[in-house]
Structure 1
Amino acid sequence: MAEQKPLFNFSQFFLIFMVMLTIMIFIDPEMRNGFGMLVGLILYPVIGFGGKYPVLSLFFVGILLTLFTTLIREKYTDWIKMAKYQKYMEAYNKAFREAFKSNNTSKMKKLQEFQPKIMEMNYENMKGQLKMMAFTMFFILVTFAWVSFFVYEEAVDKYISVPWAYNVSLLDSTVLPHWILLYSLLAIPFSTVFGRIIKHYRFKKFIERVEHDSHS
């Protein structure tokens, strides 16, 4: 007798719940700010510094968000599987183009038989990406809701010095609000370096596992 699939899949239900919650937070400012205040109850005592050092607070927010989003991305992204999928798709598309140019209908028909497998592989990749986006977007939105409140309401000193100006207001805007630009300046380099370290570590472990299996 074939094994029946469970009627209730908690993982799938939780994913749908997180996606819906993230959408609601994105379109509802009151809900977003409410979650932001909850985040502030945790972060402000730890990295708020009484509002005296907003640059340092933004730096630590960047580190925390980078660590969280990178770890979530690594959890739900199988880089080895994704690389294999990309190579598979490159070979498939190349073969299909050659068959189409040469009008080889027999080969095209055989290649089309692989489309269900390709769709299944694409679905698995998309599902992992959707999980990653649902979790990361939720925490980014609610964290930025608190950071916005922190900068506008709780920061004591709202001015910073940069090489080209002594007093730059974090509340002013140049394309984007200055506090967002400052956050990006502080967080992006750390995010890039940390992401590369994690990816290098995973590939190193994969190579070690392959070498171990080949010698066993």
Structure 2
Amino acid sequence: MLMIFMMLIFFIMPTFGPILGYYFGLVLEPLIGFNGRYPMLTLFFSGLIVVCLSSLFTNFFTDWIKMGESQEISRVFQQEIAKARKEGNTNRVKKLMKMQPEIMKKQTEVSSGTMKPMLFLIIFIWPIFMWLKTFLSGLSHYYFTLPWANSVSFFSKPFLMQAWLWLYLIFSTIVGQVIRQGLKYISWSNWWKNVKAKIKPSSR
């Protein structure tokens, strides 16, 4: 069901994305358009909105505790099985291999949960990109300066993507890391100190 809905979204959004972008623009342009005078600020705040939405949806749908446990279990499992093979302990290897399907099942459950935010992110983020591209292309002056260039177009392609997308990625990466780590810290703060003691497999 999830994959079917994702496919529908990908087919529908190219058609309805620009329409939604227009209506998103009715809200966004008065807030962060700055009458076209500060396009870099518009880019920054657009990235901030997208990152906040992405982080909130991801944090809402992702069980960070289960993800942390799954990652730690997988790490310890790999260490234990490597140790058993190195020591030639075939009985230990067999016991660990019997545990592997259950570990893989838990990893699959956790990873499937991280896909759920994509449905909402596409619905919200795609229209924002549509509006941002339209907004920037409508500016009378869509150039910015760099230490090594006096005039760079937002729509030039220095490396595969247009410059405005690179600027968005830089802004969103920096701000996104701070927001995501903060949300993770809130989710993890009361349990992490006991994780290893609870989930490390017995060495017997």
| TM-score, normalised with respect to structure 2 | 0.78
Q: 1:67-124: per-residue Cα shift (whole Å, max 9, x none)?
A: 11111121122223222211211222233334445261x4333223323422331222
1:163 corresponds to which residue?
A: 147
Give how far 1:156 is off: 3.3
1:4 corresponds to which residue?
A: none
* Number of positions where the alignment pairs a residue of Structure 1 with one of Structure 2: 193
The 2-side partners of 1:107 and 1:207 are apart by: 28
The answer to whether residue 113 in structure 2 is matched with residue 128 in structure 1 is yes
The answer to whether residue 56 in structure 2 is matched with residue 71 in structure 1 is yes
Question: Where does structure 2 lack aligned partners over 5 or more consecutive residues?
Answer: 196-204
Task: Supply the RMSD in Å over aligned alpha carbons.
Answer: 2.8
Give how far 1:161 is off: 2.5
The 1-side partners of 2:140 and 2:190 are apart by: 47
The 2-side partners of 1:111 and 1:206 are apart by: 26
The answer to whether residue 4 in structure 2 is matched with residue 20 in structure 1 is no
Q: 2:157 aligns with which of 158, 170, 173?
A: 173
Q: 1:116-144: per-residue Cα shift (whole Å, max 9, x none)?
A: 42233122212211112333344333321
Q: 1:35 aligns with which of 17, 20, 32?
A: 20
1:147 corresponds to which residue?
A: 132
Mark the CA change 1:183 to 1:197 in structure 2 (over 3 Å): closer, same or farther: same
What secondary structure does 1:174 align onto?
coil
Question: Where does structure 1 lack aligned partners over 5 or more consecutive residues?
Answer: 1-12, 211-216
What secondary structure does 2:151 align onto?
strand
Mark the CA change 1:51 to 1:18 in structure 2 (over 3 Å): closer, same or farther: farther
Mark the CA change 1:103 to 1:206 in structure 2 (over 3 Å): closer, same or farther: closer
Mark the CA change 1:207 to 1:92 in structure 2 (over 3 Å): closer, same or farther: closer
Give how far 1:207 is off: 6.4
The 2-side partners of 1:168 and 1:127 are apart by: 41
Judge conservation of contact 1:73–1:132 (CA < 8 Å) in 2. yes
